Amino acid sequence: MNIKLPALSLLLALSAPAFAADTATIKVDKPWARESPPTVTNGAAYMTLVNTGKEADRLVGASGEVSATVELHTHLMEDGVMKMRPIKAIEVNPGEPAVLRPGGLHIMLIGLKKPLMAGENFPLRLRFEKAGEIPVEVKVRKMESEDSAQQSHHPDHKAQ
Amino acid sequence: MTRGKLIILILASALALSLGLWLGQRLIRPSVESPTISGIFLPEPKAIEDFTLSDQTGQPFHRDRFLGKWTFLYFGYTYCPDVCPLTLVELAKVQRQLARDNLDGDTAYMLISVDPERDTPQRLGEYTRYFNPKFTGATGAPEELNKLARQFGVIYMRAPDSENKANYSIDHSSTVILIDPHAHLHAIFTPPHKPETMVSDFRKIRGYHRSKNN
């Protein structure tokens, strides 16, 4: 049985129902991607991963037909230089939602088969170490609507 | 004391007083404190050394192009999936706010591509226009790019893990450079870039620049 922490209940109430069964301990909140600017063949998907269980879990991979390659990436700021690096896993601990957002953690889509158009969706399969595979529908949004996504949660404060 | 000497003394003190007032005013006005911004402000703007790049139409692009306007420069590349679009979206918001405030008449916004291998002028043009009709782009030979970038402390290099891949990524500084109408480096905005902060910083910088040049 899941025991939902009170702190998470609001977050869960707001989140769109994930596609996983009710017993799953990972909820995927608002998966989205930016529409592709002209000529661009790389993209990124963002979302918030909430662990409603008691045990730590990790996102260890993602796949989909949307692009030739799908990788987990992070950004490191070193001496004012933004460095994007592939990573093996993203930790998703109970009470510490993992926020994938512009300028930080993201699922990188390399070699898009067609440009991402605002208003459309595409499927991705997320692979978790314990929760297994969770399919999500990623919503493509216009460039302009990024603020709301960035400011909707500030879980970083809780994580430390 | 003779009457003549007294007059001279009065005149001299009057002169000293007015000189003092005048000097005081002159000294006080420029000492309006140099603005504090979210980044680095150069109280003594630095002249930009010349370079040769190509703009998004394939035309040569030199230092002279900066004259007569305030230019926001960003170094990035079109294959950049995350940080560059994010910054350009913020910069587009800056442009629109400045336009609403009637401060946009003499501004320019440029993406300098650090990826000349993949970013052709045409590609740069299409890409920058998408973010904002006022945006333009330029790139060029590696040594010319470096000539410009090093003047702002901007650095870039291929990510070590992607050196041999066709789909390489490039690590780069994500500062926004502000060049004044005399083609001098005036300020460097450091990330994270918030449009409202950049707009208010730009107002301060312009105000200060005006007070110094009047």
Q: How many helices (H) and strands (E) does chain A have?
A: 3, 10
Q: Which of A43, A82, A85 is facing B172, going by the closest CB pair?
A: A82
- Side chain identity at A33, as an amino acid letter? A
- Contact status of A159 with chain B (Cβ, < 8 Å): no
Determine the average pLDDT of the residues in B76-100: 94
d(C-alpha A127, C-alpha A62), whole Å: 6
Nearest to A72 by CA among A35, A41, A47, A38: A47
For residue A82, tell me if it sits in a domain.
yes
Rounded (to 5) percent helix, strand, coil in chain A: 15, 50, 40
pLDDT, position A17: 47
Residues B75 and B143 in one domain: yes
pLDDT tens-digit series, residues A122-156: 999 999 999 999 999 999 999 775 443 343 333 33
Distance between terminal CA atoms of chain A?
27
Classify residue A119: in a domain, yes or no.
Answer: yes
By the 10 Å C-beta count (0-12 exposed, 13-18 middle, 19+ buried), A124 is classed as buried
Same domain for B98 and B191? yes
* Residue B114 with chain A: CB contacts under 8 Å: none
**Would you state the structure tokens that stand for residue A87, as one six-digit string?**
């990573």
Is A141 at the interface with chain B, CB within 8 A?
no
**Residue B10's pLDDT band (cuts 50, 70, 90):** confident
In a domain, A83, yes or no: yes
For residue range B40-69, what is the model confidence (pLDDT) as tens digits? 999 999 999 999 999 999 999 999 999 999
Average pLDDT, chain B: 90
- Are A46 and A28 in contact by the 8 Å Cβ rule? The answer is no
Give me the residue from A81, A109, A143 closest to B85, CB to CB: A143
Q: Looking at the 3D structure of chain A, how many domains does it have? A: 1
DSSP A64: -
Is residue A135 less than 8 Å (CB to CB) from chain B? Answer: no
Asked whether the bond before B192 is cis by omega within 30 degrees of 0, the reply is yes
pLDDT of the residue at B21: 65
DSSP-derived letter for residue A80 is T
Instruction: Judge if B26 and B43 occupy the same domain.
Output: no
Instruction: Tell me the shortest Cα–Cα distance from A103 to chain B, in angstroms.
Output: 5
Q: How far apart are CA A99 and CA A11, in angstroms?
A: 13
Domain that holds residue B159: 39-213
Helix (H) or strand (E) holding A98: strand A98-100
With bands split at pLDDT 50, 70 and 90, how would you rate the model's confidence at B161? confident
A72: pLDDT confidence band, cut at 50, 70 and 90?
Answer: very high
Instruction: Give the domain extent around A108.
Output: 6-18+25-143
Q: Does A142 touch chain B (CB under 8 A)?
A: no
Pair (B96, B145) in one structural domain: yes
Quick one: B58 and B4 in the same domain?
Answer: no
CB crowding B62-84: b at 16 or more within 10 Å, else e: eeebbeeebbbbbbbbbbbbbbb
Our CA-based measurement puts residue A148 at a distance from the nearest CA of chain B, in whole angstroms, of 13
Contact B78 A77 (CB under 8 A): no
Contacts of A77 in chain B (CB under 8 A): 191
Residues B27 and B51 in one domain: no
Count the domains in chain B: 2
What CATH number is attached to the domain comprising A103?
2.60.40.1890
ipTM of model: 0.71
In a domain, A64, yes or no: yes
Shortest CB distance from B167 goes to which of A73, A80, A110? A110
At residue B114, φ and ψ (nearest 5 deg) are: -95, 15
Residue A57 lies in a domain: yes
pLDDT tens-digit map of A110-119: 999 999 999 9
Does A159 fall in a domain? no
Q: Does B83 touch chain A (CB under 8 A)?
A: yes
